[in-house]
Structure 1
Amino acid sequence: MTTNPRPWLAARRATQAPGALDWQKDARCVGEPIATFFPEATDDKEAALERARELCFDCPVARACLDHALMRPEKYGTWSGLDQEERAAERRRRLRNNTLWRAA
């Protein structure tokens, strides 16, 4: 049995498949202003991050959101309650453990 030399390619294609982002309709953040997750330079970034984390804390799709953000990878904003640096650390952790590309 051979292993896939480019697992990221299969993961990216999976997120582009029809229905791959259906989880978003069940997110607690539906209807929330985009500035909560992508604050402008003039916005209070700490308040926006706190509000995003509050919404994400017990969101039923937080795992799918984080998996999506790590597989893309999303470079900006707050995803699943994690900012850019926290997502980068989680991505490195998953790469070390070889768990980034596994299905949730």
Structure 2
Amino acid sequence: MLYCTYAWCTAAAWWCAVGGLLVGLAAASAWVWSTAAPWDPLGGDSNAILSPDPELQQGQLNLADWNQAAEAGRRNRIAAWLTAVAVALSAAASLLSLVPH
């Protein structure tokens, strides 16, 4: 078994644990944020209106769906990276805190 016998290991383990907690909380917030991706069929233009033509209107609504899905995917990637960093920091904290018995 590998043990960290250096004096700095305890402090490093503590900081990794705190970092893992903070990044984990940020990741949880990012997951919530990813579920709130905006759906805007008018593309952010306050003067725009939906087309009266049913086919064009359906195209506008489909585009809004695709844009929302793309934004949700981007937000999910951010949340996933934060989760990965939190797991890595927590694992480092666990490994650094091992002491020989």
Higher relative contact order (CA 8 A, sep 6+): 2
Q: Give the number of the structure whose residues are more often helix, by fraction.
A: 2
TM norm. shorter chain > 0.5 = no
Larger radius of gyration: 2
- TM-score of the aligned structures, taking structure 2 as reference length: 0.28
